[in-house]
Amino acid sequence: MSSQGRGEVFKNEHLGLLGQFLHWLGTEHNTFMMLVFTPVMTIHVMEAVVAVYLCGTLGLTPPTTVLWVAQILVVGILSLRFLIWPLRDVQNDAKTTKRE
């Protein structure tokens, strides 16, 4: 089995200026990128845990929950809001039904 060096699997040249910029960030500002990357990933994982809780609260099936978690790991809070707001709507509907 031959070992490939870094950059041989995915070459920066294919991305043009974006590839050059990302290479520069990763090599010249590696510590800064780790300081940014670690908290961002931690926040996304926490959002995914909240998504699992909200999916359980809404009674969604396990396959649907897995899809929501995958989406929230990629998109983040912008996707999580769709799980939070329907919960409010369900609660408001329940209050309205009880009053009638």
**Mean pLDDT for the stretch of residues 67-88:** 87
Q: Which pLDDT score is estimated for 2?
A: 47
Q: Which pLDDT score is estimated for 89?
A: 62
Q: Which pLDDT score is estimated for 93?
A: 67
Q: Which pLDDT score is estimated for 15?
A: 77
Please, what's the b/e burial string for 79-89 (b: 16 or more CB within 10 A of its CB; e: otherwise)? bbeebeeeeee
How many other C-beta atoms lie within 10 A of the C-beta of residue 47?
18
Among 48-52, 74-78, 87-91, 96-100, the range of highest mean pLDDT? 48-52
Confidence of residue 6 (pLDDT cuts 50, 70, 90): low
Residues 67 and 79: beta-carbon distance below 8 Å: no
**Mean pLDDT for the stretch of residues 43-68:** 94
More confident of the two residues 51 and 3: 51
Confirm whether pTM is higher than 0.85.
no
